[in-house]
Structure 1
Amino acid sequence: MVWSWLSIDGVKMPLLRLIPCLACLALSLFWDILLPAAGHAHCQLTQQAALCTGFQLSSVPADLPKNINELQLNNNTISVLRNTCLSHYPHLQVLSCANCHLDTIESYTFHNAPNIENLNLAKNNIHTGYQQTSQALWHLSRLKVLDLSANGLTENMVAFLLRNMSSLERLSLSGNIMLRLDQAIFGALHRLEELNLERNGIYEIEDKAFNSLQSLQRLSLAFNNLPCLENFQLTQLLVLNASHNNLEWFISDQDMKEPFHLQTLDLRDNRLLFFPLLPTHSHVQTLLLSDNQIGFYQHLANISSLNWTTHVQFSNLTGNMSNVTVELWDETFHGDISSVELLDLTGNHVVHLPLGFLGKMRKLSRLKLGRNCLESLDLKELSASLYELDLSSNRLTTLSANQTTLNALAYLTHLNLSLNDLKTLPPKMFVSLSSLTTVDLSYNKVDICSSVELDSCIDNCDCIIWTDVRSLKQLYLRGCSLRQVPPSAFNGTPITHLELSDNPGIFLSQESLASLSGTLQQLGLGNTKTQAFDFTLFIHLRYLDLSRNSLSHLPGSIGVPHLRWLDLRDNSLTSIPFQQAETLSNSLQTLFLGGNPFNCCDMDWYRMLEEVNTVNIMDWPVTCLHVVHGTHRVDHLSGNLCRISDEEPSWWYVVLLLPVCLSFVGIIVIFTLTFRSSRVPKLINKRCLRHTSY
Structure 2
Amino acid sequence: MICKKWFAPHTGAHAITEVRTTNSYIGPKRRRYFWDNKLDHLHAGLFNATTELESLYLKNNQLVDLPDGLFKATTELQTLDLRGNQLVHLPVGLLSATTKLQKLDLDDNPLVNLPAGLFNATTKLEYLYLSRTQLDYLPAWLFDATPRIKVIYFWGNKFDHLHAGLFNATTELESLYFRSNKLVDLPDGLFKSTTKLQILEFYDNKLVHLPVGLFNAATKIRKLVFYWNKLVHLPAGLFDATTELRSLNLAHNQLVHLPDGLFKATTKLQHLFLHSNNLRYLPSGVPQDTPHLINL
Offset at residue 415 of structure 1 (A): 1.6
Q: Deviations over 1:581-625 (max 9, x none)?
A: 68756253xx4x8xxxxxxxxxxxxxxxxxxxxxxxxxxxxxxxx
Q: Within the alignment, does 1:504 sit opposite 2:219 as a pair? A: no
RCO higher in structure (CA 8 A, sep ≥6): 2
Q: Cα–Cα, structure 1 residues 515 and 252, in superposed 2: closer, same or farther, change >3 Å? A: closer
1:295 paired residue number: 40
| Aligned: 1:444 with 2:158 | yes
Supply the distance in 2 between the matched residues of 1:385 and 1:392 (Cα, whole angstroms).
20
Match of 2:174 among 458, 468, 473: 473
Write the letter of the residue equivalent to 2:210.
L
- TM-fit CA distance, 1:273: 2.3
CA gap 1:571/1:273 in 2 versus in 1, 3 angstroms:
farther
1:384 paired residue number: 99
Alignment correspondent of 1:690: none
Aligned to 2:184: 483
Alpha carbons of structure 1 residues 369 and 555: separation in structure 2 relative to 1, 3 Å: farther
CA RMSD of aligned residues (A): 3.4
TM-score (norm 1): 0.37
Tell me if structure 1 keeps the 8 A contact 2:271–2:293. Answer: no
Q: Distance in 2 between matches of 1:281 and 1:476?
A: 37
Compared CA separation, residues 565 and 371, structure 1 to 2 (3 A):
farther
Quick one: distance in 2 between partners of 1:266 and 1:286? 8
Cα drift, residue 399 of structure 1: 1.0
1:350 to 37, 60, 63: 63
* Maintained 8 Å contact 1:392/1:420: yes
One-letter identity of the residue aligned with 1:290? W
Normalising by structure 2, we get a TM-score of: 0.79
- Identity within the alignment, %: 24
- Give yes or no for the alignment of 1:397 onto 2:103: no
Asked if the contact 1:502–1:528 (Cα under 8 Å) also holds between the matched residues in 2, the reply is yes
Structure 1 or 2, whichever has the larger Rg, is 1
Flag the structure with higher helix content: 1
The residue correspondences of 1:225-244 to structure 2 (distance < 5 A) are none
Secondary structure at the counterpart of residue 217 of structure 2: helix
Write the distance in 1 (CA, Å) between the matches of 2:93 and 2:46: 22
Q: Residue 27 of structure 2: which of 263, 266, 282 is its match? A: 282
Runs of 4+ displaced beyond 6 Å: 552-555, 572-577
Distance (Å, rounded) in 2 between the aligned partners of 1:410 and 1:483: 31
In the TM superposition, 1:419-458 aligns within 5 A as 419-442=132-155, 443-445=157-159, 447-450=161-164
The separation in 2 between residues aligned to 1:539 and 1:409, in whole angstroms, is: 33
Which structure's residues are more often strand, by fraction? 1
Unaligned runs of 5+ in 1: 1-247, 254-261, 298-329, 451-463, 594-694
Distance 1:587 1:268, change over 3 A: farther
* Unpaired stretches in structure 2, ≥5 consecutive residues: none
Report Cα offsets for 1:109-146 as digits up to 9, x if no partner.
xxxxxxxxxxxxxxxxxxxxxxxxxxxxxxxxxxxxxx
Deviations 1:246-285 (A, max 9, x none): xx665549xxxxxxxx7xx334444232348853452321
CA offsets 1:404-442 (integer angstroms, 9 cap, x no match): x64421211112222222234442221222222222233
Q: Which residue among 17, 21, 34 is the counterpart of 1:273? A: 17
What secondary structure sits across from 2:215 in the alignment?
helix
What code does the residue aligned with 2:201 have? E
SS at match of 2:200: strand
Paired AA for residue 529 in structure 1: K
Output the CA distance in 1 between the equivalents of 2:250 and 2:54: 40
Alpha-carbon distance in 2 for matches of 1:389, 1:507:
32
Change over 3 Å in CA distance of 1:384–1:555 after alignment to 2: same
What does 1:86-101 align with in structure 2 at a 5 Å threshold?
none
Answer yes or no: is 1:513 the counterpart of 2:215: yes
CA deviations over 1:459-510 (Å, ceiling 9, x no partner) = xxxxx63335322222222233222222222222323222222222432132
C-alpha spacing 1:427/1:344, structure 2 compared with 1 (3 Å)? same
| Contact 1:296–1:331 (CA under 8 A) maintained in structure 2 | no
Report how far residue 539 of structure 1 moved. 1.0
Deviations for 1:53-82, whole angstroms, at most 9, x for unmatched residues? Answer: xxxxxxxxxxxxxxxxxxxxxxxxxxxxxx
Letter aligned with residue 36 of structure 2: D
Partner of 1:541: 245
Distance in 2 separating the partners of 1:343 and 1:502: 33
Contact 1:503 1:527 in 2 (8 A): yes
Secondary structure of the equivalent of 1:510? Answer: coil
Of 269, 274, 277, which aligns to 1:563?
Answer: 269
Q: How many residues get paired?
A: 284
Matches of 2:46 and 2:151, distance apart in 1: 35
